Amino acid sequence: MTSLFLRIALAFSFLYPAYRFWQSPDDWVGYLPPFLKNAGIPEATILTLLAVFHIALALWLLSGWRIFLPSLVAAFFLAGVVFFNWNQIDILFRDLSLALAALALAFASRDS
């Protein structure tokens, strides 16, 4: 049951931004790291690709299939968001907790 709750929590943390990317993209462009902004790809395209990635990762987490890998990807992605936006730590501090929850899920799946 613990794994299910962790998977739901992590999936929600990816589904909500994916929805908001489409609803209000201007609110999210500021979180893109400079190397993505300077890649020559339109911001709308980057956000669409990120939304697809978020949805795919959330569904994979919810499925529970080979949970180690999506949990590890989620942990690194969340940690990366904080790393590349350290100046916004007052808003993103929860992402560190979510990253640690993702790591806990990943390593718990290895123990079972």
Mean residue pLDDT of the chain comes to 96
pLDDT at 26: 94
For residue 112, pLDDT over 90 is answered with no
pLDDT at position 33 is: 93
- Rounded to whole angstroms, how far apart are CA atoms 57 and 106? 14
User: What pLDDT was estimated at residue 111?
Assistant: 74
pLDDT in the model for residue 29: 93
36-89 tens-digit pLDDT: 999 999 999 999 999 999 999 999 999 999 999 999 999 999 999 999 999 999
pTM above 0.85, yes or no: yes
Q: How far apart are CA 82 and CA 100, in angstroms?
A: 12
Query: Are 13 and 98 within 8 A, CB to CB?
Result: yes
Question: Quick one: what percent of the chain has pLDDT higher than 90?
Answer: 96
pLDDT of 7: 98
